[in-house]
Amino acid sequence: MKEKKTKTIMKNLQKFFLEAEYDVFRVKEIARFGLISLAGALLIAFFKSLLTTNQWSWYWKLTSAYFIPPAGKESIIPIGLSQGIPPAIWGISIWSFDVLVCMGVLLNWWVIALALKYSKWVRKKTDKIRMRVEKIQEKKYGKYLPLLLLIFMIVPFQGSGAITTSVLGSWIGFNRKEVLITVSIGSFLSIMGIILAYYGIVDFLKP
């Protein structure tokens, strides 16, 4: 059953990309997605050259986990730091991933459309975001809305993050530049807060 479902999905994906060949706008979006992915791969390759074998072993595992919920900054950053990954490299890495993911969402809505079509999990997550958007619009926060979106990005609770903030911000009505700035600042503050809290706790526990 699973094999049949996988074949169907692959067939539909193949059809999607074949159709994209004749759609100039979609080809541009796919090219953007490829460039963003390449930038991420080059960043990882660069950071690998700066790490020891043991640090790299933890780096790629935690980086992979970061893109698979429910893992988030609040868990992977302390683990990475405890395993010797330099805070500057680890912090810049997570921030770069957040910014690239945000750009990926803002410039490649076709990826979300494709995921919605073939993934029940994505549909459930998207429905939750829609419900949040409806509640936010009902309350009419007005001038406080940018601050609330920033706080949503900063506070590392379940369901927040670069992807959710990018989709939420876009659906609420922010433009691409506003969403990207919000994610960039929120991610930086969140990462710095977790790193400082980690070292504060470590120092406190020292005999």
State yes or no: pLDDT of 21 exceeds 90. no
The C-alpha atoms of residue 27 and residue 161 are separated, in whole angstroms, by: 28
pLDDT band at 56 (very low <50, low <70, confident <90, very high): very high
Backbone dihedral region for residue 167 (phi beyond 0: left; psi -120 to 50: alpha; all else: beta): alpha
The C-alpha atoms of residue 12 and residue 195 are separated, in whole angstroms, by: 43
Q: Which residues contact 60 (CB under 8 A, 6 or more apart)?
A: 44, 48
Looking at residue 172, its pLDDT comes to: 81
Domain assignments of the chain as residue spans, ordered by start? 2-205
What length is written for the chain?
A: 207
Q: % helix / strand / coil in the chain, to the nearest 5?
A: 85, 0, 15
Looking at residue 181, its pLDDT comes to: 95
State yes or no: pLDDT of 24 exceeds 50. no
pLDDT band at 161 (very low <50, low <70, confident <90, very high): confident
State yes or no: pLDDT of 72 exceeds 80. yes
Q: Which residues contact 153 (CB under 8 A, 6 or more apart)?
A: 160, 161, 162, 165, 182, 183, 185, 186, 187, 190
Mean pLDDT for the stretch of residues 86-94? 95
State yes or no: pLDDT of 110 exceeds 60. yes
pLDDT band at 4 (very low <50, low <70, confident <90, very high): low
Q: Count other C-beta atoms under 10 Å from residue 67's C-beta.
A: 11
Looking at residue 107, its pLDDT comes to: 83
Question: Each residue of 180-200: pLDDT tens digit?
Answer: 999 999 999 999 999 999 988
Average pLDDT along the chain: 80
Contact 154, 192 (CB under 8 A): no
Highest mean pLDDT among 74-88, 105-119, 121-135, 156-170: 74-88
Which residue, chain included where needed, has tokens 């600042």?
185
Which residue, chain included where needed, has tokens 């929120």?
186
Does the reported pTM lie above 0.75?
yes
